[in-house]
A and B are shown apart, each in its own frame.
Chain A
Amino acid sequence: MHSRIIGLLAVAAGTAVLAGRASGQETMRLNGAGATFPQPIYMKWVLEYHNLHPNVEVNYQGIGSGGGIRQFTDHTVDFGASDGPMTDAQIQAVNGNVYHLPTVLGSVVPTYNIPGVTAQLKFTGDVLAGIWLGQITKWNDSRLTALNPGVSLPDQDIVVAHRSDGSGTTYIFTDYLSKVSSDWAQRVGKGTAVNWPVGLGGQGNPGVANIVKQTPGAIGYVELIYAIQNQIGYGLVQNAAGRYVQASLAATTNAAAGAVAHLDPNTDFRISITNAEGADVYPIASFTWLLVPKEMTDMTKARALLEFVWWAVHDGERYTTDLSYAPLPPRVVQLEEQRLKSITVNGQAVLPRDYRGR
Chain B
Amino acid sequence: MTDVAATALEPEAGPRLTAEERWRALRTVSRGDVIYRSVLTILALLLPLLLVLIAAELVVNAMPALSKFGLGFLTRSTWDPVQGEFGALPLIFGTLYSSLVALVIAVPLALACAVFLTEFAPRWLRTPVGTLIELLAAVPSVIYGLWGIFVLIPLLRDHLWPVARHVLRWIPVFGGVFYGPSVLAAGVILSIMILPYIAAVSREVLLAVPPSQREAGLALGGTRWETVWRVILPYGRAGIIGAVILGLGRALGETMAVTMVIGNRHEVSASLLQPGYTIAAAIANEFAEAVSDVHLSALFLAGAVLFLITIVVNALARVLVWRVARGSAVGSTAV
Report if A and B associate in a common complex: yes
Q: Could you show 6 A-B contacts with beta carbons less than 8 Å apart?
A: A66-B290, A67-B288, A69-B291, A195-B266, A200-B265, A211-B180
Q: Which residue of A lies closest to B150 (CB)?
A: A214
CA distance A104 to B292 in the complex (A): 24
Is there contact, CB below 8 Å, between B153 and A195?
Answer: no
CA distance A64 to B265 in the complex (A): 21
Confirm or deny: A102 has a beta carbon within 8 angstroms of a beta carbon on chain B. no
Chain B residues within an 8 Å CB radius of A345 = none
CA distance A188 to B154 in the complex (A): 31
Chain B residues within an 8 Å CB radius of A63 = 288
Confirm or deny: A201 has a beta carbon within 8 angstroms of a beta carbon on chain B. yes
Is there contact, CB below 8 Å, between B265 and A201?
Answer: yes
CA distance A196 to B296 in the complex (A): 18
CA distance A87 to B80 in the complex (A): 17
CB < 8 Å neighbour of A195 from B80, B275, B284: B80
The stretch from B102-110, B241-249, B256-264 touching chain A is: B256-264
CB A234 to nearest CB in B, in angstroms, measures 21
Q: Which residue of A lies closest to B290 (CB)?
A: A66
Is there contact, CB below 8 Å, between B289 and A211?
Answer: no
Known contacts A66-B296, A189-B83, A195-B79; decide if A200 and B291 are in contact (CB<8 Å).
no
Known contacts A203-B259, A203-B260; decide if A64 and B289 are in contact (CB<8 Å).
yes
CA distance A189 to B85 in the complex (A): 13
Known contacts A157-B177, A159-B179, A214-B180; decide if A194 and B285 are in contact (CB<8 Å).
no
Not counting A67-B288, A165-B286, A195-B82, a sample of 17 additional A-B residue pairs whose C-beta atoms are within 8 angstroms of each other reads: A64-B289, A69-B291, A166-B286, A166-B289, A166-B290, A189-B82, A191-B81, A192-B291, A193-B289, A193-B295, A194-B82, A195-B78, A195-B81, A200-B179, A200-B181, A210-B149, A214-B180
CA distance A218 to B285 in the complex (A): 21
Contact with A along B232-275 (1 / 0, CB 8 A): 00000000000000000000000000011001111000000001
CB A217 to nearest CB in B, in angstroms, measures 8
CB A337 to nearest CB in B, in angstroms, measures 29
Which has the most chain A C-beta neighbours within 10 Å: B81, B180, B264, B292? Answer: B264
Is there contact, CB below 8 Å, between B285 and A195?
Answer: no
Chain B residues within an 8 Å CB radius of A196 = 265
Confirm or deny: A320 has a beta carbon within 8 angstroms of a beta carbon on chain B. no
- Could you list which residues of chain A lie within 8 angstroms of chain B, going by C-beta atoms? 36, 63-67, 69-70, 84, 87, 90, 157, 159, 164-168, 188-196, 199-203, 207, 210-211, 214-215, 218
CB A181 to nearest CB in B, in angstroms, measures 15
Is there contact, CB below 8 Å, between A200 and B264?
Answer: yes
CA distance A159 to B176 in the complex (A): 13
CB B243 to nearest CB in A, in angstroms, measures 31
Question: By the criterion of a CB under 8 Å from any partner CB, how many residues of chain B are at the interface?
Answer: 34
CB < 8 Å neighbour of B263 from A70, A87, A192, A201: A201
Q: Which residue of A lies closest to B149 (CB)?
A: A210
CB B280 to nearest CB in A, in angstroms, measures 13
Is there contact, CB below 8 Å, between A165 and B289?
Answer: yes
Is there contact, CB below 8 Å, between B288 and A200?
Answer: no
CA distance A103 to B281 in the complex (A): 32
Chain A residues within an 8 Å CB radius of B154 = 214
CB < 8 Å neighbour of B81 from A194, A200, A202: A194
Q: Which residue of B lies closest to A167 (CB)?
A: B289
CA distance A192 to B154 in the complex (A): 30
Is there contact, CB below 8 Å, between B82 and A190?
Answer: yes
Q: Which residue of A lies closest to B145 (CB)?
A: A203
CB < 8 Å neighbour of B285 from A66, A69, A200, A201: A201
Is there contact, CB below 8 Å, between A166 and B179?
Answer: no
Within B175-195, which residues are at the interface with A (CB < 8 Å)? Answer: 177, 179-181
Is there contact, CB below 8 Å, between B260 and A207?
Answer: yes
Q: Which residue of A lies closest to B264 (CB)?
A: A201
